[in-house]
Copies of this chain bind each other. A is one copy, B any other.
C-alpha cells in the first residue's frame, strides 16, 4: 500500500490545483490527503498532495519525469516522496538523555517511522542507552582545537551511512556553516525555550531569573544563525513562584520530548514545507 507525496511551492496562479489533481486523476490515482495554502501577502502557493499508487498507471520511478511538464508550466519548486522509502536519521546528543530515550522508544513502538543507523555524541553518557537499543554509538570528543576536524569526520560518517536527517536531541555544540549547508532544512533542533525568548545557553535559568509565568520549548530547522532557523513546533506550560529552577527543568523536559517528537514525525511524514524563514505544517 505505497503512497506518493508531492510537495509543491510556486507563485500563486490560476489552474495549479486543477493541473495537479488532473495529473493524478487521469492516471487512476486516488487522492488520500490534499492540503494547500496561499500566502496572500507574498503571493506564494504551497501544496501537499498524497495519493495511493495502487492502480496508478505510471510506474513509481517514472512519475517525476511525467510530472515535469506541469512543474515547468507553473515554475514549481517541488519534491516527490514515496511512503516505502524509510528515512535514515542520525541522532546527535550530549549529556541530557531524555529526548534520546524518548525518540528511541517511539521508534521501537513505531510511533515514528524511520531507521536510526547511528547515534553521535561529544560525551560518553549515551553509550549505554545506544547499546540497549542495539544502535552503533560514535563518540567525538570536541574542544576548540579539534572541532573542525571532528566535524569533518562526523560528516564523512553521515555520508557513508546515507543519512537523510540529523536530529539534535539536546546536542550542546554549535555546528559550522559548512555542516548546516550540507544538511539544509534537514537538521532538526530542540531549543529549550519559547523562541525568540531566551536564545543561547541556559534558557531555563534565564526564564527563572526573569520570573516568567509560562515556559516553552521550540523545535526548528537549524540555519546559520544560532536558534533562528524556521520554527516547526512550539509548546508552553504554566509555572509559578512555587516552581524552583529544578521544577522548571522538569516541566520543560516533558515539553521537549513532545515538541521534538512532533516535529520529527511531521518531517518524516513529509508534512513540512519551508519558505522564507517559516514553515507550513500540513497536519
Contacts and interface: CB of A to CB of B under 8 A. Distances in A.
Interface residues of A, number: 67
A252 interface: no
A36 to B, nearest CB: 5
Contacts of A240: 281
A194 interface: yes
Given A21-B18, A31-B17, A37 B213 contact: no
A233 B281 CA distance: 21
A105 B101 contact: yes
B211 A234 contact: no
Given A105-B101, A241-B281, A230 B211 contact: yes
Contacts of A194: 194, 197, 214, 216, 236
Interface of A: 12, 14-15, 17-19, 21-22, 24-26, 28-41, 97-98, 101, 105, 109, 111, 132, 194-198, 210-214, 216, 230-236, 238, 240-242, 244-245, 250, 254, 257-258, 276-281, 283
